[in-house]
Amino acid sequence: MSDNWITAASLADIPDDDVIGITINGHPIALYKFGGEVFATDNVCTHGQALLSDGFLEDGEIECPLHQGRFCIKSGKAMCDPLTENIKSYQSRVNGEEVLLLIE
């Protein structure tokens, strides 16, 4: 299987220490810029179906706006109740001013 890196956004589109929501091939993805790095996960909470891009980014975790569950933005791991299911995380890289995601 070949790598399928897709241009997701411009680096300037993502505010420092914040999150934005994008759609790639009809799939909602959250892009984060935290600590000078870019991360990407699914954008829909596995518990409340809320958009994580409407949530709050703090200390490398995104808090769902509905029920205060938090996911690690690096791994997608569910960090606390009421979450029981992780979200998918995506490999990302920056090439110049473009943010690329590895979509399998």
What does the pLDDT average to over 22-33?
Answer: 96
- List, in order, residues 6 or more apart from 55 with CB less than 8 Å away: 19, 45, 62, 63, 64, 65
- pLDDT of res. 49: 86
Task: pLDDT band for 3, please (50, 70, 90 cuts).
Answer: confident
First to last CA, the chain: 9
C-alpha angle with apex 26: 84 to 95, nearest 5 degrees? 90
With a cut of 50, say whether residue 1 has pLDDT above it: no
Q: Rounded to an integer, what distance in angstroms lies between the CA atom of residue 65 and that of residue 50?
A: 7
Sheet holding 92-95, edge to edge: 5-10, 98-102, 92-95
Please write the tens of the pLDDT for every residue from 37-96. 999 999 999 998 899 999 999 999 999 999 999 999 999 999 999 999 999 999 999 999
Domains and CATH numbers, the chain: 5-102 (2.102.10.10)
Distance CA 78, CA 97 (A): 30
Torsion angle of C-alpha atoms 8, 45, 48, 26, degrees rounded to 10: 30
- pTM of the predicted structure, to 2 decimals: 0.94
